[in-house]
Amino acid sequence: MKMSRNSLEIRPLSGSIGAEFAGIDLAGPLDDDLVAALRRVWLDHLVIVFRDQDLPPECLLAVARRFGRPVEYPFVAGLDGFPEVTPVVKLEHERVNFGGIWHSDTAYLDTPPMGTFLVAREVPPYGGDTLFANMYLAYETLSPAMRGLLDRLVAVNSSRKADASKTREDRMRGGAGSGANRDYVAEHPVVRTHPETGRKALYVNLGHTVRFKGMTEEESAPLLRFLFAHQTRPEFTCRLRWQPGTLVLWDNRCVQHNPINDYHGFRRVMHRVTLAGDRPQ
């Protein structure tokens, strides 16, 4: 049966970003028409959410492969037998969460990921929500003069930026991936053009962007501070409350996210699959 966007039950998460589907079992058959319809909604809403999904690692990878090519994450070893499935865990005694800062995933790589699947296995009784922000709107709401300036700039991104060291990925104590001891640095345009939609998105982030190419960190800091604050304005965001079996796919090319670290004393376990991307243009 052909599946169109109009036949899907979709609930927007906010006025700017995110959509939740109802009545879709991703463990069942996923024909090409359904996948194409889901992808169109994803490109329009940037973040898509599926509830009550029973997806063990092999099924999670099978779903991810319908949207892109799973790749290993450099900082954390994957599950035994499933190296592309990364455990994202905060234990009861830990105080720092994984990636607990506004960021785009691994912007310090030459080819950052296209998108990320994240499924909740265990969640705290409260807290642990994730915020998402629309980087199309972050760019489009700037003044023409500011957009013209940013269009010409290149950002230097580093995996060892001081603020990012507060996150779990930069303080690995065990279970590290093969690239955990490397310092990754990549230069990307401050404004990238989405290869599928053609829209421009602001592509700097608090977790990884150090400075502008050709400028010192001190010279870059005032404009970066403004951009970091601007791109996470509340009207650009949505907030997701997790439940066991919640699966989310976000578009890393035009989305930032921030997992909220407000559940000390409780355990939170997620499984993540990263989809290979292309070099930002």
Of the candidates 81, 74, 91, 38, the residue with the CA atom closest to the CA atom of residue 56: 81
What does each C-alpha distance from 171 to 97, 150, 163, 180, 189 come to in angstroms? 11, 32, 12, 9, 28
**Which positions are annotated as active-site residues?**
103, 105, 257, 272
Distance CA(23)–CA(26), nearest Å, equals: 10
State which amino acid sits at residue 225. Answer: R
Instruction: Please list the residues that pair with 198 across neighbouring strands.
Output: none
Distance CA(185)–CA(159), nearest Å, equals: 7
Burial class (CB in 10 A: 0-12, 13-18, 19+), 179: middle
